[in-house]
Amino acid sequence: MRNAGEANAMGDKRLVKATLPPHTGQVRNCVDFETAFRIALANPNKEFATTGNDTPFTIVASYASRGNHMNEPVLKFISDGQERARSYQCCWGHKTNCNRTHIDCYTQAVCL
């Protein structure tokens, strides 16, 4: 198995970031969570690009169906047909979400 340095040296676009605790750090997003949710609802096929390596993604706005956030609004960040990360309102404005996934490269790309 290759380490992150070898993978990137070989032209791999994936960016491996260190694991951080939930809701780590503060980031400035272009819009607040409610506005991002409305953007996603109104533009379900709009393509964005991550701030890290310009990976294209779309956003699915929905409501959590289980777990600690049941019935809460959630933004799911989809790339290549797979969910790569998600953000609840409590995660918005942080580098990582509740599950310690880096979301800032997605949330900072959501602008009007």
Host domain of residue 54: 20-107
In tens digits, the chain (112 residues) has pLDDT values of: 344 444 445 455 667 778 899 999 999 999 999 999 999 999 999 999 999 899 999 999 999 999 999 999 999 999 999 999 999 999 999 999 999 999 999 999 999 7
27 located within any domain: yes
87 located within any domain: yes
77 located within any domain: yes
Task: Please tell me the predicted confidence (pLDDT) of residue 32.
Answer: 98
14 located within any domain: no
**Residue 4 CB neighbour total at 10 angstroms:** 13
Domain total in the chain: 1
15 located within any domain: no
Task: Please tell me the predicted confidence (pLDDT) of residue 18.
Answer: 82
Task: Please tell me the predicted confidence (pLDDT) of residue 13.
Answer: 62
Sign (positive/negative) of CA torsion 10, 11, 13, 15?
positive
Task: Please tell me the predicted confidence (pLDDT) of residue 5.
Answer: 46
pTM, entire model = 0.84
> For residues 51 and 74, what is the distance between their CA atoms, to the nearest angstrom?
20
28 located within any domain: yes
